[in-house]
Amino acid sequence: MSVSAPETFMIHAALKYLAYKQWYYLNLIHDESAVSENLLREMSKMVDFNKFCIDTQVKVTSDTNVTKLVQFFVKNDNSSKVMFVIADAPVLKRISDAIKKTDSTGKLLWIGLEKWTNFMSSPDGIKGSIGIHFFSYIPAGFAEHVQHLDNSSANPWLVPLFRTKYNCNDAICIRRFIKLNHGMPSALSSQTYLATYMVAQAIALHLSIYCPRFTAKNAEDCLLSNIDTFPKTIRNISLRGYDHYVRINERGFLEDSYLVYQKSNKDKDPLRPVTTISIEDDSLSTLGELDWATYQFRFEILNPTYFCMPQCAYNEYRYTISKCCWSCRQCQDNEKVSDISQVCEQCPVLYWPQEINGHSVCVFIPPNYYRWNNPVAALLIGLAMGGIVICIVIFLLYFNHRAHPVIRAASIELSCVQLASCILGYCAVPIFLMKPTDIACKIALFLFRFSCNILFLTMLIKAVRVYRIFKLSKKNKKITYAGSKFLLIICVGHLILEATELYITNMFYPLTVEITQPEMKVNYTELSCKFQKAHLLPFFIFDFFLLIMCSLFAFKTQTLPKNFRESRFVSMCIITTLILWIAFMPAYMTLISNNAKTLLLVCAVLINQTNLIIFIFITRLVAWKYHTAHRKSVFLTTIS
């Protein structure tokens, strides 16, 4: 237990004042004494110390060139200008001499504790410097009381202090010593008076509790008989001292107040109190403003946030310039700032940096996919529905005029299969453009593959049948495998093979939905069907084979009679289809975006189906209309 304040409280007061001024960027200068080392250890344990950044910590020894040290801090622009000093008088004198030698007065802000404050009041004190000291005062009548003390008085320890050591025998000398010896009210007299007063109050309280009827004769015996409980009594002491509130805390330490002084340029008042700091309630009150006239730097640079501790944005990291200084550098778009704010970290795939509560956090990117209300998707679905309507209209025309020679020559069964395959292809469009699911992806792929395969397969059957009709008819041979039953067997067989092939492929290469990020540096992800090469490559190879065979037989039938030149339109349809697929395949395989691939696939389906309708069915309807009109004209001419 101590009835005087520990030095750790003074350190706490100093840190509180530095934090109040926002001087978090410090240089720490100390000597090699045991007291300084102990103070530094206590300082490092304090919670408040974690707020500060010590740019440079220097231990001044007998070999240290203090002059070069001061020059370094003055000339280094990124170094802190706040110099916190914990040292004894000899080191403080060396620092003062170095400042005068380098003409550095006002270029650094020097701050210290009790010893530094005492040194400030001397002629060697640095102008403008700041010191933290005990709250000192002169109790009324204290000087007169000391004057009449002798060795037999109740306070014998004060006798040698003033009479022997300082040669003061009268009240005027004692008062002058107390007030002017260090340029401030003496901490020694203040602390001594306060400690004596606290003990006296504790003794009075203790006697009133345990010996309520004590007298001068039995007070000492009563106190000694209950001495074990005295520490408990003194811990309950809290009182107003001479002019401020003090108390003993639960740890048995005196919670006193502290004053912050600044070295003034005026000789009459060398130390000027500017702030009071109370340990008891951890409060701070300002007595006056600091005088900045001495200093040769801008006040703002004492707060490092103004020049070398910028507040970096959530997407910026700290690029270290010195131990406590940094600049802000922006991370790339797909990177977040690490927890230690010194490096950038790339977000995982499908994640993107976002500010949450001032911190950079990687969050999941909501995937994009085509919806039916999307303008592009709505347009393509509208075209597909229009294609289905056209197919139905053509089917009705074919069915109503199935007896006409032009329609009958095209084989109504073969035409119906082709129209059905076109409708299946158009039906795949809205399924491709809806929200991808495993089932939707499998249905869309099956409709796309099956419709295109049946389309090209029936074109090959038609081209082969035309070729066989005109080539074998010259040899008077019967044409086999050219009827409707054969066509039905081909279609059903291919349907079974197509379904079986897709099922087996899906066993080894499952067709599922996936979320992808086409570009790591773009805040964009896609929800799409995971079409693999195994799903599309066999289809492309088979369709190219069919198209090439169709081209071969169309070329062989180019010498048919004038009235049987349908092979020309078949050739034109096949050529445009080949051009389409030759352009489509490389584009599809090289695209990064799956949504773009889906859009390209849908366009290919629409163009492919519409190409067949134009060159195969529209041309035949035109021929049918022309043939009907021509027969009507011949009939009217014959009648006339």
Kindly report the number of other CB atoms within 10 A of residue 428's CB atom: 26
C-alpha span between 241 and 191 (Å, rounded)? 11
C-alpha span between 219 and 242 (Å, rounded)? 26
Q: How far is CA 12 from CA 23, 186, 286, 588, in A?
A: 14, 21, 17, 70
What pLDDT, on the 0 to 100 scale, is given for residue 634?
40
C-alpha span between 68 and 284 (Å, rounded)? 37
**What are 268-326's pLDDT values in tens digits?**
557 888 888 876 677 888 888 888 777 777 666 677 666 677 778 888 888 877 777 78
Phi-psi region of 269 (alpha: psi -120 to 50; beta: other; left: phi over 0): beta
Sequence-ordered list of residues with C-beta below 8 angstroms from that of 526, at least 6 positions apart, any chain: 367, 368, 369, 515, 516, 517, 518, 593, 594, 595
What pLDDT, on the 0 to 100 scale, is given for residue 561?
56
Kindly report the number of other CB atoms within 10 A of residue 498's CB atom: 17
CB 289 within 8 A of CB 265: no
* DSSP of 471-494: HHGGGTPPP-S-SHHHHHHHHHHH
C-alpha span between 10 and 190 (Å, rounded)? 15
The helix or strand, by DSSP H or E, that contains position 193, with its residue range, turns out to be: helix 187-210
Lay out the sheet containing 238-240: strands in order across: 238-240, 245-248, 254-255
C-alpha span between 72 and 581 (Å, rounded)? 75
Amino acid at 538: P
Model pTM score: 0.55
The helix or strand, by DSSP H or E, that contains position 356, with its residue range, turns out to be: strand 351-356
C-alpha span between 379 and 376 (Å, rounded)? 5
Sequence-ordered list of residues with C-beta below 8 angstroms from that of 249, at least 6 positions apart, any chain: 235, 255
Q: Which of 228, 257, 272, 226 shows the shortest CA–CA distance to 128?
A: 272
C-alpha span between 268 and 586 (Å, rounded)? 93
What pLDDT, on the 0 to 100 scale, is given for residue 500?
83
Beta strands (DSSP E) in 20-176 are 25-31, 53-60, 82-86, 109-112, 130-134
Question: Which CATH architecture group holds 375-638?
Answer: Up-down Bundle (1.20)
Enumerate residue ranges in the chain where pLDDT < 50.
Answer: 1-4, 180-189, 242-243, 632-640
Sequence-ordered list of residues with C-beta below 8 angstroms from that of 144, at least 6 positions apart, any chain: 171
Question: Which CATH architecture group holds 1-137+257-309?
Answer: 3-Layer(aba) Sandwich (3.40)
Q: What number of H helices and E strands is found in the chain?
A: 20, 19
Sequence-ordered list of residues with C-beta below 8 angstroms from that of 100, at least 6 positions apart, any chain: none
Strands 109-112 and 344-346: unpaired
Sequence-ordered list of residues with C-beta below 8 angstroms from that of 154, at least 6 positions apart, any chain: none
Kindly report the number of other CB atoms within 10 A of residue 370's CB atom: 23
Could you state, in order of their start, the residue ranges of all structural domains in the chain? 1-137+257-309, 311-364, 375-638
CB 134 within 8 A of CB 187: yes
What pLDDT, on the 0 to 100 scale, is given for residue 429?
92
